[in-house]
Structure 1
């Protein structure tokens, strides 16, 4: 199972690298005013999203489920983690929508929006790492 855990972590890191970098590309793309630059960003965004991020997301989830089934993890911390992963999958989906929006030259947001959008996966990463490492007894935290 240590191999499975290793692959889960490797693909999670790769996925997060894309989740951090793609919205940064959106920032620069939103600021770009020349057509050759815009076309370059379209290629970079497409390759990052479809070539790196999406396969990494799928493999992160596959190895995560494999770990879950193999170790039989349970508890409120796991439910919280799975909820955050679901939110991250939704964020990933929205990144794909923005890739398509830029591809079609239909972007409606400025660079400031994408700067804020870029910060969201950092919050998720903090929460997930704390949940996995500390495995807090969440019901006791509520009272």
Structure 2
């Protein structure tokens, strides 16, 4: 089970790297001047590649997390709270894909300030999840 736990941690860290960086690309995209086509296309390419890279990492993080859950058994309210937050992160991930589609179609209506705030959400969730896992408060 320790190998499964190690793989879960590795894939979670890798997924979070994408969750932290993709919205940062959105900040930059929201700031691109209308006449800077090359910069916009380069950022869109980076965002598309990152989303394609981080999606399998998310799937593997969830798969190994479920393996741990079923391997150790169901127990503790902390685990249900963590699972709820993982579902929130999956929704965030999917919403990032929707936002990227809006950028590709030229329909982004949000400012770079909104994306700066949006970018902080996974950090907050990470703090809560780590404390839940380590402290198991309930």
TM bucket, shorter chain: over 0.9
- Match for residue 51 of structure 2? 49
Matched, 1:121 2:122: yes
Find the counterpart in structure 2 of residue 39 from structure 1.
Answer: 41
* C-alpha RMSD over aligned residues: 0.7
- What residue ranges of structure 1 are gaps of 5+ in the alignment? 138-143
| TM-score between both structures, scaled by the size of structure 2 | 0.96
Shift of 1:105: 1.3
SS of the residue 2:106 aligns to = coil
Does structure 1 residue 105 correspond to structure 2 residue 112?
Answer: no
Runs of 4+ displaced beyond 3 Å: none
Report what 2:77 is aligned to. 76
Distance in 1 (alpha carbons) for counterparts of 2:15 and 2:87: 14
User: How far apart, CA to CA, are the structure 1 residues paired with 2:117 and 2:99?
Assistant: 14
TM-score, normalising length from structure 1? 0.93
Q: Distance in 1 between matches of 2:80 and 2:72?
A: 15
How many pairs align? 136
Are 2:8 and 1:8 equivalent residues in the alignment? yes
